[in-house]
């Protein structure tokens, strides 16, 4: 059965610190997709990235970077030089064909100035 | 990305009444729609999956007679919470998927339901 584990419930950092959010997943499928979403206090989910199981290249987008390692079933997310606006709940999610997104429990990131 | 809207954004209702939440895909045809529920400080939990013109498939533990889902067109799905109780107070989020690729799913902004 598919499963997503975000072991870090809450993380607090000071502005300009780098922070990594961990995500470990379980699946029996060879084709699947992994996602990261940001949920600010407003509640609306903000899509950050989608990665398919055949593409293990790391990705960088501005201050955000993602490290996908199939060998450890992990898809970690790093924010470099964090800012107060990064404060939110971050969800990692897994999608297999024919199913709905399965979400991890989320990591609440608090960035203080 | 595609646009999915939800209406209303928030609603307060009295215990025992019914509430309807609409989910619309504004610029694509949504063959599949998913309904999620999120309690405070918790993750999103899938409630049901609906395909246009078919009956919804409910997740285990979700009462289908209480949470009525209708997906009558390719752009609209509705979730009706019947005889709402305070424990139904939650954040309800829909997502819509088109028929181009299963990984293309777009979330609505959510509806916050408070039952008093």
Between β-strands B19-25 and B32-38, what pairing exists: parallel, antiparallel or unpaired?
unpaired
DSSP notation for B66-85: TEEEEEEETTEEEEEE-S--
Is residue B52 predicted with pLDDT exceeding 90? Answer: no
Q: Which pLDDT score, from 0 to 100, does residue A97 have?
A: 85
Q: Which pLDDT score, from 0 to 100, does residue B54 have?
A: 85
H-run or E-run covering B5: strand B4-7
Contact yes or no for A100 and B49 at CB 8 A:
yes
Distance of CA B50 to the CA centre of its chain: 10
**Maximum Cα interatomic distance, chain B, rounded to a whole number of Å:** 42
Is residue B82 predicted with pLDDT exceeding 90? Answer: yes
The 3-state DSSP class for residue B88 equals helix
Neighbour-count burial of B87, counting CB atoms closer than 10 A to its CB (0-12 exposed, 13-18 middle, 19+ buried) = exposed
Mean of per-residue pLDDT scores for chain A: 95
Contact yes or no for B110 and A105 at CB 8 A:
no
Q: B9-40: per-residue pLDDT in tens?
A: 999 999 999 999 999 999 888 889 999 999 99
Measured between beta carbons, which residues in chain A are less than 8 angstroms from residue B1?
A: 47
Q: Which pLDDT score, from 0 to 100, does residue A5 have?
A: 98
The residue of A39, A52, A100, A107 whose CB has the most chain B CBs within 10 angstroms, and thus the best one to mutate to test that interface, is A100
Instruction: Give the count of beta carbons closer than 10 Å to the beta carbon of residue B96.
Output: 29
Q: Give the DSSP letter of residue A94.
A: E
Is residue A1 predicted with pLDDT exceeding 90? Answer: no
Q: Which pLDDT score, from 0 to 100, does residue A92 have?
A: 98
Tokens of A108: 């609440």
Q: Which pLDDT score, from 0 to 100, does residue A2 have?
A: 83
Is residue B98 predicted with pLDDT exceeding 80? Answer: no
Is residue B99 predicted with pLDDT exceeding 80? Answer: no
Among A75-84, B16-25, B42-51, B99-108, whose mean pLDDT is lowest?
B99-108
Q: B53-64: per-residue pLDDT in tens?
A: 888 999 999 999
Q: A43-95: per-residue pLDDT in tens?
A: 999 999 999 999 988 899 999 999 999 999 999 999 999 999 999 999 999 99
**In angstroms, rounded to a whole number, what is the distance separating the alpha carbons of residues B116 and B113?**
10
The residue of A9, A38, A101 whose CB has the most chain B CBs within 10 angstroms, and thus the best one to mutate to test that interface, is A101
Is residue B1 predicted with pLDDT exceeding 90? Answer: no
At residue B46 the predicted structure's pLDDT band, cuts being 50, 70 and 90, is: very high
């Amino acid at each position: 059965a598919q499963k997503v584990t975000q072991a870090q419930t809450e993380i607090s950092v000071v502005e300009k610190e780098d922070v990594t959010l961990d995500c470990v997943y379980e699946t029996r499928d060879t084709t699947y997709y992994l996602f990261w979403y940001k949920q600010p206090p407003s509640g609306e989910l903000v899509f950050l990235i989608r990665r398919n199981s055949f593409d293990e290249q790391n990705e960088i987008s501005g201050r955000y970077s993602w490290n996908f390692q199939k060998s450890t079933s992990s898809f970690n997310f790093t924010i470099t030089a964090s800012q107060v606006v990064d404060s939110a709940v971050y969800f990692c999610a897994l999608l297999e064909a024919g199913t709905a997104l399965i979400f991890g429990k989320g990591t609440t990131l608090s960035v203080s100035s | 990305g595609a646009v999915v809207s939800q209406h209303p954004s928030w609603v307060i209702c009295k215990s025992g009444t019914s509430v309807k939440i609409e989910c619309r895909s504004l610029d694509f045809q949504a063959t599949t729609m998913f309904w999620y529920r999120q309690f405070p400080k918790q993750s999103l939990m899938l409630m049901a999956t609906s395909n246009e013109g078919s009956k919804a498939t409910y997740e285990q533990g979700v009462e289908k007679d209480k949470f009525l889902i209708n997906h009558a067109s390719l752009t609209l799905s509705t979730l009706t919470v019947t005889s709402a109780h305070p424990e139904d107070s939650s954040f309800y989020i829909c997502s819509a998927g088109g028929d181009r690729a299963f990984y293309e799913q777009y979330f609505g902004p959510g509806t916050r339901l408070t039952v008093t």
